[in-house]
Amino acid sequence: MWAQMLSAPGRFETIEVPAPDAADLAPGQVLLATKAGAICGSDLPNFKGAPFPHPKNQGKWVTSAPGFPMHEVVGEVIASNHAEHTKGDLVVGWASGFDAIAEVIVSDGAGLAGFDTELAPSTAVMLQPLACVLYAVDQLDDVTGKTVAVVGQGPIGLLFSHVLKSRGARHVVGVDRVDRGDVGTIFGVDEVVTASANLWAASLGAGDRPEVVVEAVGHQVTTMKNCLDAVAFGGEIYYFGIPDDQVYPIEMMTLLRKNLTLRSGATIERQRVLEDAGIYLAKNPELRDVYVSHVFPVGDVEAAFRAAVAPQAGQFKISIDMA
């Protein structure tokens, strides 16, 4: 079977590798023929060369793992050892081996769910990040009537803006260095701020501070301080995503003196939230037409990743067509 493999930081090559065998499926696993994938911000450090303890690297640098790095996937079940998935099912969710840039993969069935098959696979893949955002917002206190800010208006931040508005937020502020004015209204953003997080935070007066701030930038530690500076007294901060740094410096005195709550967490109950994402998208069909802004053929996966590391106006979620 074909697979794309990182042969060096920032460089993919197409290789041929043995296909996984249905006879080797462990309990709960399924064999998927991939149809589409999408690039997550957590994939980008690995594309650029960050180490990752992948089980297939056999003691080498992680680029020896075919299909890595991608976990957002749509596929057709071609064999199953999971009670809720049968051969022929189309499913969306997590590629548990982070190896979705390949023709056939083995994945945990608990991280997959069916979806409305009227959606093109390259669109349906958006249900995975939407599920993550829905789960995260469920962890927050009730946002009804509150001013909320989402720092980072990339693909994840835009979904946070939309979901928070749909949950009753009175005023949604979207902060990003890239101008998102072209889609702010579609994603529920009442106030589009085109600025760095530190300049935005420094500009706020006492009456302007949001009661909830979502940190949806990641990949460095600075914006967490900006969120602490920006949030109102007694407010709440949610840090989303996989941190590049194991340890974040936190101004504990600010956290204490402002009586703040800091939350984070990984997405669990994955099948449930994937199903919730399908319901949410059906109720908000306008998202289907704008969220995935670029679709690359799998042969151009390197170009797709290069685009993802350089966000720009008009670029949101990047999908990969595996067909």
Sign of the dihedral through C-alpha 198, 202, 203, 208: positive
Instruction: Answer whether 191's CB lies under 8 Å from 173's CB.
Output: yes
- Rounded to two decimals, the pTM is 0.95
Instruction: Answer whether 147's CB lies under 8 Å from 169's CB.
Output: yes
Q: Where in the chain is the domain with CATH 3.40.50.720?
A: 130-263
The SS3 of residue 165 is helix
pLDDT of residue 65: 87
Name the residue with higher pLDDT: 172 or 60.
172
| Mean confidence (pLDDT) of the chain | 95
Closest among 156, 172, 154 to 164, alpha carbons compared = 172
* Residue 146 structure tokens: 């509150």
Q: What is the pLDDT of residues 85-97, one digit of tens each?
A: 999 999 999 999 9
Closest among 67, 78, 54 to 12, alpha carbons compared = 67
Sign of the dihedral through C-alpha 243, 245, 247, 248: negative
| 130-263: CATH class | alpha beta
From residue 270, alpha-carbon distances to 83, 113, 156, 178, 275 in Å are 16, 8, 17, 31, 9
Instruction: Answer whether 171's CB lies under 8 Å from 193's CB.
Output: no
Identify the CATH assignment for 2-125+291-321 out of 1.20.1300.10, 3.40.50.720, 3.30.70.270, 3.90.180.10. 3.90.180.10
pLDDT of residue 64: 72
Q: What is the pLDDT of residues 189-224, one digit of tens each?
A: 999 999 999 999 999 998 999 999 999 999 999 999
Can you tell me the mean pLDDT for 39-54? 87
Q: Where in the chain is the domain with CATH 3.90.180.10?
A: 2-125+291-321
